[in-house]
Amino acid sequence: MNKAETLEIKKQFTPDRCTIDNICGCYVDHEKNKRLTFRKAFGSIPDEEMFKYLDIFQHTLAGTFGKNLISLEFPMEQEQPGGTQDFLLTLRNSRLADDELLDEFYDKIIANYVNGENYYIIVIHAVYDIPGVTRDGIEMEDASDNIYDYMLCSICPVKLSKAGLGYNEKDNVIEERYRDWVVDAPVKGFLFPAFIERNTDIHNMLYFTKKPDDLQPEFVEAMFGGRAPISAPEQKDIFDAVIQNTIGEDADYDIMRNIHDNLNDMIEDHEGDPEPLELNKKDVKQLLSDSGVSQERLNYFDENYNKCTGNEDYPLLASNIASVKKFEVETPDVVIKVKPDRTDLVETRIVDGRQCLVIEVDDHIEVNGINVRTFMNK
């Protein structure tokens, strides 16, 4: 799935567009005990409660692709009877009306989800009547040919509200505020089947994690089958290790600046693409070559890449390995932060026999928030 496809489904979680028919839930305590389960028609929920649920569902489809939202493809064996995809398909086809299937689903989450606190599992079923779209992108509500029959699951932490003082209007006193259990925004979730090219794709799904560094690969593998993808922080670590091991002692400021600039240029050139930009092994090697890494050092690239990735040609998302929001130069005593698009302002020079970082400045300098004169104005 891509950003536009996810946004189209996300837009369904509003009162005027909502097509959810059933909602089910399971409240689990920190000892993995089911404290509450329920199933009801979504339309029977009071409006104020419904709005809060819709907000949770929107957050389950929010975030950056490759970091918070990760597309997963089911291995072929998981589509056979008894496989993870087969189970989810059976659950979806039941429209969440089978309590035995729901209990099995909850048990599977409870057994594999790593969490030491209380949490709330929410699962919904909905059918979206996909409208036709004109060439200029205008929806035609009366020109629908297909439906998207899907389920969405959200896992939300449940925490005690903060202790404090409050005003008791009835008794006209300030007293200790009552603490109750509050359902927070989702930290995990998934959409099944995937919505690809504006249609149902039962061979894929979309996984959500609030924290990119908390992918929980064992949970992903147990729930959906196959090997879990590499998290965004892990992709960055792999990329950094490949660069460090390949360039070795030849690493200098200019090469690292070129890698930064070239990566960001690639991202900018593909900004309008529906799919996020991926770099394979060949692309990363070409990036290093274009950035000034010598052929002698590139001879070590294949060996280092295989060592860092475990002999796998993992695609690395450019947005996960690039520093698009900062460019930072650090020494033991000084840290220089530069706007990502102005790396040209900092260069290395030999001054009086010593290697120095030289920063180009204009007529405006601040020191601890105070404007000071430049050397040219003295």
Q: Tell whether 245 and 331 lie within a shared domain.
A: no
pLDDT at 378: 46
Q: Tell whether 47 and 170 lie within a shared domain.
A: yes
CA distances from 22 to 19, 123, 162, 185 (A): 10, 8, 32, 20
At 311 the three-state DSSP class reads: coil
Q: Tell whether 251 and 171 lie within a shared domain.
A: no
Q: Tell whether 67 and 181 lie within a shared domain.
A: yes
Q: Tell whether 241 and 223 lie within a shared domain.
A: no
pLDDT at 137: 59
Q: Which residues contact 329 (CB under 8 A, 6 or more apart)?
A: 253, 335, 336, 338, 346, 357
> Of 167, 197, 229, which closes a domain?
229
This prediction's pTM? 0.82
| DSSP 8-class letter at 275 | S
Q: Tell whether 219 and 238 lie within a shared domain.
A: no
Q: Tell whether 159 and 256 lie within a shared domain.
A: no
Q: What is the pLDDT of residues 156-172, one digit of tens each?
A: 999 988 888 888 898 99
Q: What is the pLDDT of residues 43-84, one digit of tens each?
A: 999 999 999 999 999 999 999 888 899 999 999 999 999 999
Q: Tell whether 31 and 57 lie within a shared domain.
A: yes
At 377 the three-state DSSP class reads: helix
pLDDT over 70, % of the chain: 94
Q: Tell whether 315 and 339 lie within a shared domain.
A: no
Residue 51 structural domain: 3-229
What average pLDDT does the structure give for the chain? 88
Kindly tell me if the per-residue pLDDT of 247 is higher than 90: no
Pairing mode, if any, of strands 335-338 and 346-351? unpaired
Q: Structurally, how many domains does the chain consist of?
A: 3
Longest dimension (CA), the chain: 82
Q: Tell whether 198 and 345 lie within a shared domain.
A: no
